[in-house]
Structure 1
Amino acid sequence: MPAGVQGESVARNYAEALLTLARKAEDAAGWGGMLRQVATAIRSDVTLSRFLESPRISADAKSMVLSKALTDRVPRLFLRFLEQLVKNRRQMLIPTIADEYDTLLDASEGIVHARVTVARATSDEDTAMIAQRLSKIVGKTVVPHVNIDPSIIGGVVVRMGDTVMDGSVRRKLGKLRRR
């Protein structure tokens, strides 16, 4: 479910708080993996999602179920973080918080994710070349996530955060048409 701009902002704040806790525990990557597992469970298990989403079930009951399910599997502080999310009625933001956490962790390690749109499928070598060129431009390690959209006709459209680099044939034809 889309979180919206406000939800993403709230999720980013929670992700920053969790990253701070994870760094104090000296296991930022491990905590990110645990959060990703919880998020995946919420996204893929309809019963779990409906349980957490239901306004008829108290926050205490939800926390108790999480506690029983995770007590022996996650650090106590991580579990308390999840319980606080439930108490604040933010449990449905866990998948978005996981995405924001991954983004923050990667950014702290100099890794940037880019959505790369191409007109047709690319080979592994082409994808590696795109990653290499973008990394050189940005000065950080770029991980490309390639999407195919034949409507761009040719070229590449790259989105990294708020930055869009549009080298598509469709855009170039549009510029020619306007001239």
Structure 2
Amino acid sequence: MLNGAVTHRYTQGLFLAAVDAGQVSNVDESLQALAAALAQTESFRRFFESPLVSFDQKQGVLHKVLSGRVPDVLLTFLAVLFKRKRAEYVSAIASVFHAHANDYYGRVDVRITSAKPLTEEQRESVTQSLKAALSKEIEAVIDIDPELIAGYKIQLGNRVIDSTVKNALRQLSVALAEKRIV
């Protein structure tokens, strides 16, 4: 529980500073890229999370690598985070910050998984339908999974709308199994 409290406290501070600086979108993009880099490059992540590396060394690398490439408000925030030995929270903070940014801009992330590639017209139709239903801008990520056979699955946070043939067959199988038992 403490991890969640720490994440939310730091994220709230960064978000308010980003709003004051008019840099919410830039901080969001930069923070997402940084979290991805830390996740993909183990040596980079270990360097910043290591208690054996001094704050001055970490700050030197931060400024060398990120200065001029990320908003100053994020650079200042990262310095505070690393000084307080909280580098392991960067990924969680990036995730929560992104959710705050989406709320701030009235948008929602949606993952659409389709059995085959969607045409531009199909993609536009699905996103426009979701936009109308949710009254928010849609940021869609589209994945292809041929195992779905046909149809698509839409994930909005923890909600899933599954209109795939694979799911229909699974439901039919369960219904038939229940009929045989009774």
What TM-score results when the alignment is normalised by the length of structure 1? 0.78
Displacement of 1:32 in angstroms is 2.6
Summarize deviations over 1:46-75 as a string: whole Å, max 9, x none.
553332133321334313432455556666
1:57 counterpart SS class: coil
Summarize deviations over 1:156-178 as a string: whole Å, max 9, x none.
11111111111111221122222
The residue that corresponds to 1:87 in the other structure is 83
Displacement of 1:44 in angstroms is 5.3
> 1:32-71 maps to which residues of 2 (within 5 A)?
32-43=28-39, 47-67=43-63, 69-70=65-66
Structure 1 unmatched ranges of 5 or more: none
Query: Match of 2:129, as an amino acid?
Result: R
Query: Match of 2:168, as an amino acid?
Result: K
1:17 counterpart SS class: helix
Once structures 1 and 2 are overlaid, which stretch shifts more, 32-41 or 79-88?
32-41
- Which of 123, 130, 145 is the matching residue for 1:127? 123
Displacement of 1:141 in angstroms is 1.7
The whole-number CA distance in structure 2 between the counterparts of 1:109 and 1:115 is: 18
- Which of 173, 176, 182 is the matching residue for 1:177? 173
- Which of 128, 137, 141 is the matching residue for 1:141? 137
The whole-number CA distance in structure 1 between the counterparts of 2:150 and 2:54 is: 53
Higher radius of gyration, 1 or 2: 2
The residue that corresponds to 2:11 in the other structure is 15
CA 156–77 in structure 1, closer or farther in 2 if over 3 Å, else same: closer
Structure 2 unmatched ranges of 5 or more: 176-182
What TM-score results when the alignment is normalised by the length of structure 2? 0.77
Q: CA RMSD in A?
A: 2.9
Displacement of 1:86 in angstroms is 1.1
Summarize deviations over 1:60-106 as a string: whole Å, max 9, x none.
43134324555566665433310222133332432443343233212
2:51/2:85 contact within 8 Å kept: no
Identity %: 29
Summarize deviations over 1:32-52 as a string: whole Å, max 9, x none.
344345445435555533321
